[in-house]
Structure 1
């Protein structure tokens, strides 16, 4: 099997080339999305992990999974944006309110014995409000320009100057907002003991924790695809189109 030189890459680059690595990083608490620019060895040391041990886990995971992981890094940029819009944006807008509603019912029933649930519900509600604004900015400003860049580069044509000056400006805002969401879900995970249902939980409580975890995991993939693949490509495309 081909050896992967993990130590010369950032954790975001590792997951971009092999999304299967995300499962290993997530289990070990290594942030590959909001802090995907951290070098592999440093990310391991920040978590008190031996990089050699993590390398072995990555290799073992790859051996078990084979080539089944979705090859996002091989997809063209416009297809990646399509995927984010139709899978992740749609998921947030459809599943998010459903989870918030379920969480509200769980707070009503179990909030007395588990007062932390009220804070979880407040944080999640604020996340949905902030994400709605975030998604709108991507849909109305950033993604249309990335589509234009992709078409211009593919066809060898020119495009009008971007209204924001350069694509790096809205990308910086999106990455800052991604970091805020990452921190918010770290707080939710801490409040819920990593989305665990306590011994006295009913089926609705357990389901709410499961849905919160699934929402967080999908958000991590969403942020990873943008921060580590789409955004760097957009910067490179803009530079290539400007050079003609």
Structure 2
């Protein structure tokens, strides 16, 4: 596609076309998850990236299968929900504590020479507190209703309205929390110099930075799937199957 064709779409829509596209945008620092509704060119400029160059890189991966690539745009909503809950939610609970343990160790050893590690540790501690609450709200309230919507849509039956009137309300809360976490992850990225370990880094510090980057990348996919695919679909299905 040409730049005008990309520019006519939201960056979230572009990212949804394939994981290869999402990787190009992620590598360019373009925020397609928390700000997926931004236009393609606007999102590139916010990231300090040249929209024309990013468009060329997107064209270069068209038709090239990425390793472990998933065409999420073709997945049904309930399968996407399964993926988020069983891959991303479980991943946060598994990897997050490991990162906290590593941060405690590297702060003790390297903190005197690298004071930024103290802020990184504090930020990630808050990440785990907030995400623990966030995941619980999604699992207890939001996703059970999304599964009801999917079942009603698949089996052609109506669904009773969400207890607070519309699924739009909890979705709005989740998206606001996504935005807050996105800002925190960006601060961690800045403090780690884009996850580049300092020259005197030991093996543990190098591993910590690598895990922080992977955590951020996984979280970006998680938020992208919810903000740009699952949540809009849930609202559209609700408009058709919920009793009013």
Specify if TM > 0.5: yes
Report the counterpart of residue 157 of structure 1 in structure 2: 157
Alignment of 1:86-97 (within 5 A): 86-97=86-97
The 1:237/1:27 distance shift into structure 2, 3 A limit, reads: same
Distance 1:66 1:199 in 2: 32
Distance 2:238 2:60 in 1: 38
Give the Å deviation of 1:105. Answer: 0.4
The 1:68/1:218 distance shift into structure 2, 3 A limit, reads: closer
User: How many aligned residue pairs are there?
Assistant: 243
1:61 equivalent to 2:34? Answer no
Q: Could you list the per-position Cα deviations for residues 80-135 of structure 1 after superposition, in whole angstroms to 9, with x for gaps in the alignment?
A: 00000000000001110011101110101100000110110010010000000000
Alignment of 1:2-13 (within 5 A): 5-13=5-13
Alignment of 1:36-75 (within 5 A): 36-62=36-62, 64-65=64-65, 69-75=69-75
Distance 2:13 2:201 in 1: 39
The 1:50/1:214 distance shift into structure 2, 3 A limit, reads: closer
Distance 1:41 1:162 in 2: 37
Report the counterpart of residue 183 of structure 1 in structure 2: 183
Distance 1:216 1:47 in 2: 16
Report the counterpart of residue 198 of structure 2 in structure 1: 198
Q: Given the two structures, how large is their TM-score scaled by the length of structure 2?
A: 0.94
Q: Aligned to 1:164, what secondary structure does the other structure show? A: coil
Root mean square deviation, CA, Å:
1.8
Distance 2:68 2:101 in 1: 35
Q: Given the two structures, how large is their TM-score scaled by the length of structure 1?
A: 0.94
Give the Å deviation of 1:44. Answer: 2.3
1:129 equivalent to 2:90? Answer no
Distance 2:66 2:94 in 1: 32
